[in-house]
Amino acid sequence: MSIMMIREDSAAAGHTEVKADKPLYHRRRILICCGATVCTTIAVILILVIVSLTLFKAKQPTLHVDSVLLSRFSAGLNSNSLLPTIEIVFDLNASVYNPNRASFQYTNSTTYGLYHGSVVAEAPIPAGKISARGTETISTQVSVKADRLLANPNLLTDFNSQFIPISTTTVLTGRVTILGFIKRHAKSTSRCDMVISVSNQTIQNYQCSNKLKL
């Protein structure tokens, strides 16, 4: 009889031990699931970062001045005041290429006209958006302010030489948004140096250079 009691006690002890192991087993499963979720999340983030730095890496939009045309030019003396008068208006056409796999959005920008380093004109460029790997044409008309030009002491010398040097600087600022949340700001500047022939009333020898900073 004592033997039967020992067996019953052993069976009861074994049964209790199995019940005690079940919560531990569930905890282990929860920990394994949480660990797998964390690892998966980290892997997805790493993949997104790698893709954004390679396939979706922000590239430089290219601003290129296609043409600068003199639309109006006149110079002379006012018959009433006997003061010199001058009018210079030219049209600037540029193209912007966006090589990115995401759109490039630029804000209101400006083209400046300079004469011997002094600003003599400002022409606005309205804000816009260029689709991924798209090209957009930007056109603006630059009207030189006569009072600023006449106030410059170099004008008489240049006018007598029949050549007036003018420079333009176009500044385009915007940003590229990658994967919907990675934003890279960009600033593109294009400078053109030209010479206006007083006798021919044309623009001669204009050269442009581009610079962009991401």
3 state DSSP class of 150? helix
Secondary-structure percent of the chain, ordered helix, strand, coil, rounded to 5: 30, 50, 20
Closest CA to 124 of 104, 139, 105, 109: 109
pLDDT one-digit tens code per residue, 33-51: 777 787 788 877 776 666 5
Write down the domain spans for the chain: 1-55, 62-213
Q: Which residues pair with 137 in a beta bridge?
A: 95
**Mean pLDDT, to the nearest integer, of 113-120?**
95
- Write out 122-148 in H/E/C secondary structure: EEEECCEEECCCCEEEEEEEEECCHHH
Percent of the chain with pLDDT strictly greater than 90: 34
Phi and psi for 36 in degrees, rounded to 5? Answer: -65, -40
Q: Work out the pLDDT band at 3, boundaries 50, 70, 90.
A: very low
**What's residue 25's pLDDT?**
64
Please determine, looking at this structure, whether the domain spanning 62-213 carries the CATH number 1.10.3470: no
Please give the Cα distance from 96 to 200 (Å, whole number). 31
pLDDT one-digit tens code per residue, 90-106: 999 999 998 888 888 99
